[in-house]
Amino acid sequence: MAWDLFKSLMLPMMQSNAFGSDMSAFARNFTIAYDSTIKSGGDVVNGIPIIKGNVELMESTLFALLQQTQFSKNTTLLDVIGPVIIGYWTGATLSLVPTPIIPAIGSIKNIATISGTVLSPGNWTPLPVIPNNDSNIFLNAFIQSANIHLMTVSGIFSVISQYPPPAPPAPGVVNWVSYKV
């Protein structure tokens, strides 16, 4: 459902050429729409959402790529947008609430989350799309490629966990793999 929101934000502006030649405005709006969409999701097991993606790196990288590829006849934005998406996930952090469901190794339950960190920003694999001027085709292909990418994102939660008695609560680590919108 969140991808529908992403598409509803981007498609009318792209079809009406609202950005014109203002690549900065496109980069800003695309980044805001992507960030909002991603924040509505969570890691696959716990449903814990991103609280801060690297929007600054995403927007600046997208702007630079738009400038480099604007006159290309053989390269589509979908082909080169990978570093933009990887940039968003680089250094991203997840919410501290709720605590991960699966206990840290050796523990019986997680009590609190200290940090949620993306360790691997994933791998971008664009779907093959013939260069075209149809915004709908681009957005659909982007959404499919983004969903494939999200399966490759991973990281850790640093937690305080309860270990079997008589052990006191202590730090632990919970790995997470894959993110879903």
Structure confidence by residue, pLDDT tens digits, 51-106: 999 999 999 999 999 888 777 667 778 878 999 999 999 999 999 999 999 999 99
Q: Which residue in 153, 144, 122, 124 sits closest to 48, CA to CA?
A: 153
88 three-class SS: helix
Sign of CA dihedral 168, 174, 180, 181: positive
Question: So what's the pLDDT on residue 127?
Answer: 87
Q: Is the pLDDT of residue 139 over 90?
A: yes
| Total-model pTM | 0.92
- Assess whether pLDDT exceeds 90 at residue 126: no
Nearest to 23 by CA among 85, 61, 82, 67: 67
**Residue 27 pLDDT level (bands cut at 50, 70, 90):** very high
Q: How confident is the model at residue 133 (pLDDT cuts 50, 70, 90)?
A: confident
Any idea which of 12-26, 69-83, 112-126, 159-173 has the lowest mean pLDDT? 69-83
What are the helix and strand counts (H, E) for the chain?
6, 7
How high is the pLDDT of residue 55? 97
> What percent of the chain clears pLDDT 90, i.e. is strictly above it?
77
pLDDT band per the 50, 70, 90 thresholds, residue 1: low
Poorest-confidence range of 6-10, 71-75, 132-136?
Answer: 71-75
What's residue 132's pLDDT?
75
20 Ramachandran zone, left/alpha/beta (phi>0; psi -120 to 50): left
- The mean pLDDT value of the chain amounts to 93
Higher pLDDT residue, 70 or 172?
172
